[in-house]
Chains A and B, each alone.
Chain A
Amino acid sequence: MSEFSVRPEFDEMMKAIFDMPGPEETFVSSLREQFVTTGAANAQKSSYTGRKQAYRITPRMAWGLVLGLTLIVVVLASTSPTAATAMKRLLKYIPGIGSIEQSTSLRMLAEPVRVQRENAAVTVEQLVAGSERTVVVYRHIEPAVDYEQYIPPSEYKADRPELILPDGSKLDVRFGRHMPSDGKGILYALEFGPIPSGVTELTLSLTRLAGLPPGAGPEDWAIPLKLKPAPEGTGYPVIELPEAIPTQPSPAGEKTESSVIAAEYGISLAIDKYVESPDGYILEGSLRWKDASISEFGVTPLKILLLDADGNEVPREDTLPDTMPTLGSKQYNWAYKLTGKDFAWPLTFLVEAVEVRFPVNAKFKFDPGPNPQADRIVDLNLDLPAGDVVVYVDSVKILEHSDGTAALEFAIRSDDPRVIGASLIDLEDMSGGGGGGVPRIPEGNAFTSTIYYENGLPSSPITVSLTDIALLVKGPWQVTWDPAVNP
């Protein structure tokens, strides 16, 4: 029995103090339906895969199957172009909204609406109402909140965005998410259910603006919106490329040590879909891996090149992928916007190398002393076994900043040239987080990893945990694409 215990009445009191509001019933039942249905469907899919694996398919049978299926697709495509088009073009891409299902009843915002109150202004920039969902995108400039001084009000309403229809009925929000910032305030997207046909006016009701805690700005916004039918040709077809041209690393057909390692991790590159707009393309793809020992979201491309047929680099712009990786999905998604179409086709996507992170569990102690001096370097000379490799923690530099924050910057190296980074954290103080490595192809095998402290340096000995190491895995991986060939 432990000597440490909490008195039951105090335990109950603390539970009451932190009694958070529960979820709304509509949300609970809708998510329950989604959870149960998706779980059952996933199981069906994997049991189907399992049954397939129970039969032995010989290489001859497999080739026969592939040829047979190819023949069917070729015959269908050549005899029925509309059928082939219909199969591929089920989604439309609307800039700023993403992919939305095709529908004849598609409606959109008649014009952006701006509402100003006190020091805050909200602009509803987009609304697209499809047959299955309605997406609203609004922007606001975040009022400055001093979180050091911020104290939430003792009583406040639950935040519940709604769309209020002319008959008074309401559509509850399904979910909301932050959109990538373009440096002009907070851009936030809300998804609701479909708006009944015939509705042309409605009100967006917001308790609070996204990202703002209670009491930090004007609340209870009611923003009138007008809809209009989406003009013919709104959005661009999304062309999905099933199992699109994935590649393994192929350094000129030569089997080097790097290619063997990369193949071992099962890393591949693929283009998943593209959108053709009048001024160019949006191309979305993924890096995928199979090795289960790699950390979640543990593979990052270090250098991506997009080359035309003459070997010249094609300018590209980062954009938000439609598909985001989830826990356990073992993929890294990317999306690029290409301006123009007059390229020397085909284009080649080339990933020269990737950073692969593996979880490890190693610890060491460090005593900054009672009066640590800024910019002092302390020799440590520690050998730290981390998974299959050993890293040497040579020294630590003490950094103190004028704003009261501080950091410990550890100089690390390894004899294994693949090791390019390591994440260090102080579990007793995670106020500033940890760091490690850099997302670029490094020179040499020495690097630094830093632990940050929001409230100054610790005054007593700390235990530093090495939570993962990053390996450099060289490819290259490459995939070529030409919309005329891969339509």
Chain B
Amino acid sequence: MTKTHPGSTEEQFGIDDSLIEQAVGGDKAALGRIYDAYVNPIYRYHYSRVGNTPDAEDLTSQTFMAVLESLPRYKFHGYFSAWVFRIARNKAMDFFRAQKRNLGEIPLQLAHHDDVLEKIIQGQTCEELSALLQSLKEEEREVIRLRYVAQLTYVEIASLLGRKEDAVRKSLTRLLEKFSCQLEVQDV
């Protein structure tokens, strides 16, 4: 039985078990729809980790090729996005392992547009925001990445991280409380 979660990428792009079955069968339109649904969030997710275009593109290509390899073995249970991002996450981990860089030292990138940031973080500098992000644990940064860069739902993040939805929601709420206190963001 087809299941999708409200607000999920699957729901937005109409990705269900029959579409995945068509993609496994080689249907180009179905493959294209899956690609179109994930290329932007996957690329942005990798960019937020590596901070440069060639590596983000390399990791995005590797992720999609791995999705193709593994697609025939995917069992539809309503968390396709979590499955796709698990592959992306593994690729990113492999990348940093190969570079012998500790995950704790990987900065979480901010938006490029300074004007946007200025409007948002009133009275604060990007440097302070970066420092605050860098002070978080890697797992906390990962929750932020999955929620605000990849824009996954809480249910999807919970499925991906093997945690309960409430635990993810609670952990993010606390993180944001910490943010709002330290950034002096008004009217939050």
Contacts and interface: CB of A to CB of B under 8 A. Distances in A.
B39 to A, nearest CB: 6
B39 A23 contact: yes
A391 B140 CA distance: 31
Interface string A320-363: 00000011110000000000000000000000000000000000
B68 A427 contact: no
Given A39-B31, A147-B107, A177 B60 contact: no
Given A39-B23, A178-B98, A431-B102, A24 B53 contact: yes
A17 B112 CA distance: 9
A23 to B, nearest CB: 4
Interface residues of A, number: 75
Interface string B86-109: 010011000000110011110111
A187 B2 CA distance: 48
B169 to A, nearest CB: 4
Contacts of A327: 66, 69-70, 87, 90-91
Contact of A175 (B43, B57, B145): B57
A296 B36 CA distance: 27
Contacts of B120: 13, 16-17
Interface in A1-19: 2, 4-7, 9-10, 13-19
A31 B31 contact: no
Contacts of A433: 102-103
A69 interface: no
A42 B130 contact: no
A36 B27 CA distance: 8
Contacts of B113: 19, 155
A176 B188 contact: no
A432 B101 CA distance: 10
Interface residues of B, number: 87
Q: Give the secondary structure class of A's interface.
A: loop
Contact of B117 (A7, A47, A154): A154
Interface in B54-81: 54-58, 60-62, 64-66, 68-73
Contacts of B27: 40
A427 B41 CA distance: 24
A160 B39 CA distance: 18
Nearest to A38: B68
A211 B58 CA distance: 13
Contact of A42 (B26, B45, B56): B26
Given A39-B26, A430-B138, 13 more contacts: A6-B169, A13-B188, A14-B144, A28-B39, A35-B68, A38-B65, A43-B26, A148-B105, A152-B51, A175-B61, A176-B55, A326-B66, A327-B91
Interface of A: 2, 4-7, 9-10, 13-24, 27-28, 31-32, 34-36, 38-44, 46-47, 147-148, 150-152, 154-156, 158-161, 173-178, 190, 207-208, 210-211, 213-214, 292, 296, 326-329, 427-433, 454-455
Q: Which 6 A-B pairs have the closest CB atoms?
A: A43-B26, A176-B54, A327-B66, A159-B52, A20-B44, A147-B105
12 contacts: A14-B147, A20-B43, A20-B45, A21-B112, A31-B61, A34-B65, A39-B28, A150-B107, A154-B110, A213-B52, A328-B73, A428-B139
